[in-house]
């Protein structure tokens, strides 16, 4: 089983001061394993990354709210995520993983615990891709709750599931910009497809993971600065349906980033302070704190 490294041991304090109410809309928690064991069929083996360590990071960064996305290492046992949300229910929300036969009672319990969406994997290296018909059936069940569907998919694979996504009766959120690799250029078909999909009124995207798409990684004057033009294109396409996240503790990345440096990329994405505030405050409020 693949072992992944821990998060950055000494993240820097960012120079950019986040606006009040800023939300880190994509983080995970792992363990503690003694209370929340990892799933036996997990695709990778991470070191523990409990809520206390995430809270310490957010104090350093100036983050006030967060969306805790259920990690595949915990499977459909959402206990660690729900426990993390319970530490500050007004400031935390969650995105869960569930089995196709999950009961309506369990969905209501997850909603009461702060869950506002379900995540589905279309990345073969993390296991079998989701069944679109199962996702469609689940979307109909969660629509009355106001939830959304979050998809982990590359932009290159997006054309294959685009019609299915656009047919869903709920918003859909694309993880990590759909990973259009910088080395393939701004004119690549994958990015063009992503931008086209963002024209759909229910399509959202997370501008997380610049370290996942960068060609030069941290070997730049500003780490991952080569990803900036890609984010700028995304913001031009749908500024009102973009949220930002660190992706802490950074599972399955080519190098573990300094989260302070990720925050310091934010003002390079746009010089419009109102757009930045929307990405960090207003947009996540609409998607996760609508009720």
DSSP secondary structure string, 49-93? B-HHHHHHHHHHHT--EEEEEPPGGGTT--HHHHHHHHTSTTTEE
Which residues, given as ranges, of the chain have pLDDT below 50? none
Q: What is the pLDDT of residue 2?
A: 84
Cβ neighbours of 99 (radius 10 Å): 11
Cα distances (angstroms) measured from residue 193 to each of 6, 166, 198, 268:
33, 13, 9, 24
At 126 the pLDDT is: 59
The rounded Cα 255 to chain-centroid distance in angstroms is 18
Under a CB-based contact definition with an 8 Å cutoff, are residues 7 and 249 in contact?
A: yes
List all residues 6 or more positions away from 53 whose beta carbon is below 8 Å from its beta carbon: 7, 249
Helix H or strand E segment including 239: none
Predicted pLDDT at 180: 96
- Residue 145: phi, psi to the nearest 5? -85, -10
pLDDT tens digits, 157-178 = 999 999 999 999 999 999 999 9
Residue-level pLDDT at 188: 96
CATH of the structural domain 2-289, one choice from 3.90.1660.10, 3.40.50.970, 3.20.20.140, 3.20.20.70: 3.20.20.140
pLDDT of residue 127: 62
Token representation of residue 43: 């695709």
184 is catalytic: no
Q: Give the model's pLDDT for residue 129.
A: 84
Buried b (16+ CB within 10 A) or exposed e, 102-121: beeeebeebbebbbbbbbbb
- Count CA within 13 A, CB hemisphere, residue 281: 13
- Could you tell me if 182 and 33 are in contact, meaning their C-beta atoms sit under 8 angstroms apart? no
The Cβ of residue 65 has, within 10 Å, a number of other Cβ atoms equal to 21
What per-residue confidence (pLDDT) applies to 156?
86
**Cα-Cα-Cα-Cα dihedral sign, residues 226, 230, 235, 236:** positive
pTM exceeding 0.95: yes
Domain residue ranges of the chain, discontinuous segments joined by +: 2-289
Question: Choosing from 24, 247, 258, 259, which is the catalytic residue?
Answer: 247
DSSP-derived secondary structure letter, 45: E
């Amino acid at each position: 089983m693949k072992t992944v490294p821990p998060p950055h041991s000494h993240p820097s304090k960012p120079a950019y001061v986040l606006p009040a109410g800023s939300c880190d809309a994509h983080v995970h928690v792992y363990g503690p394993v003694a209370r929340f064991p990892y799933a036996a069929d997990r695709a990778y083996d991470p070191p523990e990354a409990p809520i206390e360590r995430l809270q310490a990071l957010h104090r350093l960064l100036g983050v006030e709210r967060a969306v805790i996305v259920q990690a595949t290492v915990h499977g459909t046992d959402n206990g660690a995520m729900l426990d993390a949300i319970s530490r500050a229910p007004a400031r935390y929300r969650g995105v869960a993983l569930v089995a196709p036969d999950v009961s309506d009672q369990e969905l209501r319990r997850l909603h009461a615990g702060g869950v506002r969406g379900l995540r589905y994997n279309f990345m073969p290296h993390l296991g079998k891709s989701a069944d679109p018909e199962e996702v469609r059936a689940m979307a109909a069940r969660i629509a009355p709750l106001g939830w959304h569907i979050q998809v982990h998919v590359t932009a290159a694979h997006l054309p294959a599931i685009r019609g299915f996504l656009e047919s869903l009766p709920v918003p859909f959120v694309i993880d990590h910009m759909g990973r259009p690799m910088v080395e393939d250029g701004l004119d690549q078909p994958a990015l063009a497809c992503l931008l086209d999909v963002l024209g759909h009124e229910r399509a959202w995207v997370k501008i997380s993971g610049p370290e996942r798409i960068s060609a030069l990684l941290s070997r730049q004057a500003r780490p991952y600065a080569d990803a900036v033009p890609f984010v700028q294109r995304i913001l031009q396409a749908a500024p009102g349906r973009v949220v930002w996240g660190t992706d802490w503790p950074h599972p399955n990345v080519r190098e573990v980033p300094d989260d302070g440096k990720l925050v310091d990329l934010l003002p390079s994405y746009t010089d419009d302070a109102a757009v930045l505030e929307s990405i960090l405050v207003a947009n996540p409020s609409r998607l996760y704190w609508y009720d």
